[in-house]
């Protein structure tokens, strides 16, 4: 039957008038005479199976995502390499199998470390711990005494967080001039001088040794205005390297992650993790790419590197830790491999010069998926991960549409052929258009204003289904406010997620970006934020999800396993900013999708009302015998679109679930202004 006709039959003029009257009575808002939108859910028309990896996460080291974020490490610049001098290397002069040691300025005290008492600090390249950590901190404590101990202090990533009755693990490598007897004291001290926990460490000699201790807090208040110190009351000279302080980690995984942030992620039930970037996989230069072989094994054997987002990475959060994160949260890895192109525009042409990178990618896949009989699978087991990880998707590079040399097609083909030959089951993702091979998926990126995101939220409805390459929206975000999006972001995102859900036969995976931001220092030199719009914010002590995070969580938790046909009539519009040129434009203000959970039979309808006024909507469900009168509505809403969550007000906007009535195969419900709603309907 013709939809318009069917709708007109269902919603007679008198019904519409009654609905408008009811909406006005409930909300007190004046209504226009616009016709009531009608959404028809076709429960007997399955348009797609919901892909198991539909909702995921995208991540890279940006905005202090790992170091100063998810990674449990509390000490900043623990390897003293943040001062290393840039040594950009072009591909022609670069041997991918070689490590190019960091170089340091002379007579410099390491960044983010301060002296305590009369100590003098300097970077010392003459006393390296090993080839990877080819520098150390030389601490001249010759003035030390019982009344004035000397040492070093570290303020962490904008604070050292302390929780009551908690055990922190300290470890470091140290050696001293002959005759130094110590002991050393490791402590956490508040910035006003109160010692919150401390431990004595003795046995420092003229040879490098690893020392470990625990620091236990008593019933102190949670705080972050603290420093970590290593001091001595005995005169002498001491060298330090790999100074580490860990709180209890999520699921107690060694070298693991911060619990509060991990919990936020787990709560949203993402199904995959796209890593390690983003730009981070590429690096600014060949010697600054994501070189996974230098990011495995014991952390003190990892040299670290200068990341493309302007700060040093120790790579303590390396390839095994990405996998550990997947394990913690229950996600499947989506592995992006370095593809011979760096952010400064240099590339390696396909052919023999590219081959080492192709082999590197094959070995990386083996590290992730191999068993004990394989070289790299055995290495992963040695690194603490006995079970191979399920891997279905490998991405070749990142945003290679920026490579204006035209080399991507050839580079992609070389990776594609080698990976398919060894791992025919793997799906290969391209990051730019390719002609010589058919990519299984292409990665599309969208960073847009709210109006633009809503404006493109019907994009895939008209996608050419003859195109066999599926879509991976590997980076997307509505960008209304910084450091994390406000309700406008959640509205644009939800509209866009409705579009992707309706078209899950085409868009088989997607992930928001960037995921994390440390909100401690948003501006100025040495700031904690490099990208202005991010899903989850935190400082050293607390974390919060933006309204956009909660919209994603609502969608992720209510995805169903089949996508249902859905039609709409009388879609309303609102006036929105036109964009950079100023002015206004009309954009649709109602967005929708419907899925079903076959186990429970529940029909899940998502409705986004991005208007500033309440919106009555008639929902018709065809193809079922009945829909129970009672159901639930989970609603995220705000009084206006600029409302938001923040580190100081983390739960200002959160979804609320309520029981609702008067449902059936046809019902009308008024959706609040600026709202995202998930309806769960019991259908038979």
129 vs 432 by CB, closer to ligand AHR: 432
CA distance 232 to 118: 11
Residue 318 binds to ligand AHR (criterion: CB under 6 A): no
User: What's the min distance (Å) between Cβ of 414 and ligand AHR?
Assistant: 22
Classified as helix, coil or strand, 70 is helix
247 vs 277 by CB, closer to ligand AHR: 277
Among 59, 60, 393, 443, binds ligand AHR (CB under 6 A): 60
Residue 489 binds to ligand AHR (criterion: CB under 6 A): no
The one segment of 19-27, 276-284, 340-348, 607-615 that binds ligand AHR by CB under 6 A? 276-284
Site string for ligand AHR, 364-403 (x = CB under 6 A): ----------------------------------xx----
User: Pairing relation of β-strands 184-190 and 167-176?
Assistant: unpaired
Classified as helix, coil or strand, 566 is strand
Residue 169 in contact with residue 245, Cβ under 8 Å?
A: yes
CA-based end-to-end distance of the chain: 22
Residues in contact with 352: Cβ distance below 8 Å, sequence separation at least 6, in sequence order: none
With 0-12 CB in 10 A as exposed, 13-18 as middle and 19+ as buried, what is 570? middle
Residue 185 in contact with residue 144, Cβ under 8 Å?
A: no
Residue 483 binds to ligand AHR (criterion: CB under 6 A): no
> Which residue minimizes CB distance to ligand AHR?
278
- Site size toward ligand AHR (CB under 6 A) is 10
Residue 278 binds to ligand AHR (criterion: CB under 6 A): yes
Give, as one character, the DSSP assignment of residue 257: B
User: What's the min distance (Å) between Cβ of 395 and ligand AHR?
Assistant: 11
Pick the closest to residue 588 from 656, 499, 511 (CA basis): 499
CA distance 683 to 43: 9
Cis peptide preceding 514, ω within 30 of 0: yes
Among 513, 590, 635, 663, binds ligand AHR (CB under 6 A): 513
Residue 320 in contact with residue 383, Cβ under 8 Å?
A: yes
Give, as one character, the DSSP assignment of residue 341: B
Classified as helix, coil or strand, 618 is strand
Among 172, 476, 531, 549, binds ligand AHR (CB under 6 A): 531
510 vs 574 by CB, closer to ligand AHR: 510
Residue 56 binds to ligand AHR (criterion: CB under 6 A): no
Residue 475 binds to ligand AHR (criterion: CB under 6 A): yes
296 vs 513 by CB, closer to ligand AHR: 513
User: What's the min distance (Å) between Cβ of 66 and ligand AHR?
Assistant: 14
Residue 279 binds to ligand AHR (criterion: CB under 6 A): yes
Residue 340 binds to ligand AHR (criterion: CB under 6 A): no
The one segment of 6-14, 274-282, 404-412, 479-487 that binds ligand AHR by CB under 6 A? 274-282
Residue 442 binds to ligand AHR (criterion: CB under 6 A): no
Pick the closest to residue 335 from 393, 400, 259, 286 (CA basis): 393
Give the residues lining the site for ligand AHR (CB under 6 A): 60, 277-279, 398-399, 475, 513-514, 531
């Amino acid at each position: 039957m013709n939809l318009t006709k069917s709708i007109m039959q269902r919603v007679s003029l008198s019904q519409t008038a009654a609905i408008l009257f009811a909406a006005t009575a409930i909300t007190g808002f004046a209504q226009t005479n616009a016709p009531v939108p009608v959404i028809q859910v076709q429960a007997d028309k399955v348009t797609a199976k919901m892909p198991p990896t539909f909702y995921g996460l995208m991540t890279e080291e940006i905005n202090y995502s790992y170091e100063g974020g998810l990674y449990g490490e509390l000490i900043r610049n623990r390897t003293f390499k943040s001062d290393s001098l840039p040594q950009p290397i072009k591909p022609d002069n670069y041997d991918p199998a070689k490590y190019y040691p960091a170089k340091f300025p002379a007579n410099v005290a390491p960044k983010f470390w301060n002296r305590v008492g009369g100590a003098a600090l300097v970077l010392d390249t003459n006393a390296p711990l090993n080839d990877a950590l080819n520098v150390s901190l030389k601490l001249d404590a010759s003035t030390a005494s019982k009344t004035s101990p000397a040492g070093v202090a570290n303020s962490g990533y904008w604070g050292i967080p302390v929780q009551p009755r908690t055990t922190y693990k300290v470890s470091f490598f140290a050696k001293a001039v002959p005759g130094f007897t110590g002991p050393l004291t490791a402590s956490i001290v508040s910035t006003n001088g109160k010692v919150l926990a401390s431990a004595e460490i003795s046995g420092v000699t003229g040879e490098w040794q690893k020392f470990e201790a625990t620091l236990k807090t008593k019933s102190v208040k949670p705080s972050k205005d603290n420093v970590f110190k290593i001091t001595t009351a005995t005169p002498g000279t001491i060298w330090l390297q790999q100074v580490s302080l860990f709180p209890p980690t999520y699921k107690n995984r060694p070298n693991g992650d911060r619990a509060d942030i991990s919990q936020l992620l787990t709560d949203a039930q993402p199904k995959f993790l796209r890593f390690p970037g983003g730009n981070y996989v590429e690096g600014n230069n060949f010697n600054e790419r994501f070189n996974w072989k230098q990011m495995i094994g014991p952390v003190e054997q990892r040299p670290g590197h200068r990341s493309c987002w302007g700060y040093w990475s120790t790579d303590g959060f390396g390839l095994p830790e990405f996998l550990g994160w997947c394990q913690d949260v229950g996600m499947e890895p989506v592995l992006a491999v370095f593809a011979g192109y760096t952010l400064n525009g240099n590339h390696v042409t396909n052919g023999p010069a590219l081959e080492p990178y192709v082999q590197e990618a094959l070995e990386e896949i083996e590290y992730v998926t191999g068993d004990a009989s394989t070289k790299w699978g055995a290495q992963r087991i040695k690194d603490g991960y006995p079970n191979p990880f399920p891997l279905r998707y490998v991405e070749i590079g990142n945003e290679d549409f920026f490579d204006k040399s035209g080399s991507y097609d050839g580079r992609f083909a070389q990776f594609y052929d080698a990976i398919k030959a060894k791992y025919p089951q793997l799906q290969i993702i391209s990051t730019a258009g390719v002609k010589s091979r058919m990519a299984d998926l292409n990665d599309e990126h969208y960073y847009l204003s709210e109006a633009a995101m809503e404006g493109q939220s019907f994009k895939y409805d008209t996608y050419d289904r003859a195109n066999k390459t599926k879509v991976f929206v590997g980076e997307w975000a509505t960008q209304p406010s910084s450091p994390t999006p406000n309700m406008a972001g959640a509205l644009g995102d939800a509209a866009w997620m409705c579009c992707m859900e309706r078209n899950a036969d085409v868009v088989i995976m997607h992930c928001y970006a960037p995921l994390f931001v440390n909100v401690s220092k948003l501006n100025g030199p040495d700031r904690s934020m490099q990208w202005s719009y991010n899903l989850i914010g935190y400082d050293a002590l607390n974390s919060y999800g933006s309204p956009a995070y909660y919209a994603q969580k609502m969608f992720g938790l209510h995805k169903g396993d089949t996508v249902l046909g859905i039609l709409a009539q009388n879609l309303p519009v609102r006036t929105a900013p036109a964009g950079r040129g100023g002015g206004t434009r009309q954009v649709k203000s109602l967005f929708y999708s419907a899925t079903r959970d076959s186990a429970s039979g529940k029909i899940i309808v998502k409705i986004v009302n991005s208007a500033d006024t309440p919106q009555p909507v008639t929902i018709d469900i065809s193809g079922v015998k009945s829909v129970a009168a009672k159901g639930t509505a989970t609603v995220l809403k705000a009084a206006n679109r600029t409302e938001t969550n923040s580190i100081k007000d983390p739960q200002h906007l959160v979804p609320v679930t309520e029981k609702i009535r008067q449902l059936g195969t046809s019902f009308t419900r008024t959706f609040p202004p600026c709202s995202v709603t998930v309806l769960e309907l019991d259908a038979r």
